[in-house]
Amino acid sequence: MGHLRGLVFLNLFFGLANVLSICLVPALMMNGRDDGVLDELSTLAITPLMLLLGVAHLYIARQIHRRTTRLPQTLLAVLYLAAFPVGTIFGAYALWVIWSNDESAEAFS
């Protein structure tokens, strides 16, 4: 189950990176410049999105480790295909592991 473990690791990495990067948002907001309300609103809009993606990655890592479902990972991988280049690589790898890999076919059947 090497590729499934690798996918769990990647989901944990991206999940923790998204959640921990939220700690940088206040530092970015206090950069000494006053760019107005638009800058603050865009920062406040990005924060929940980063939290949602981080929690989704952590949830999916848990589900793959339990070998219960493929659908959430598939949806997340399709979203990441548009984020060139790292997201595209992650999305393609995740789709391959979940749907085309023989090991995962046995694990999820």
The model carries a pTM of 0.85
The per-residue pLDDT for 29 is 65
Q: What is the pLDDT of residue 34?
A: 64
Per-residue model confidence as pLDDT tens digits over 18-74: 998 888 776 666 666 666 676 677 777 888 889 999 999 999 999 998 988 899 999
Q: In the predicted model, what is the mean pLDDT of the chain?
A: 87
The domain total for the chain is: 1
- What phi, psi does 6 have (nearest 5°)? -65, -40
Domain region containing 39: 2-107
Alpha-carbon distances of 44 from 15, 48, 57, 63, 91, rounded to whole Å? 19, 7, 21, 29, 26
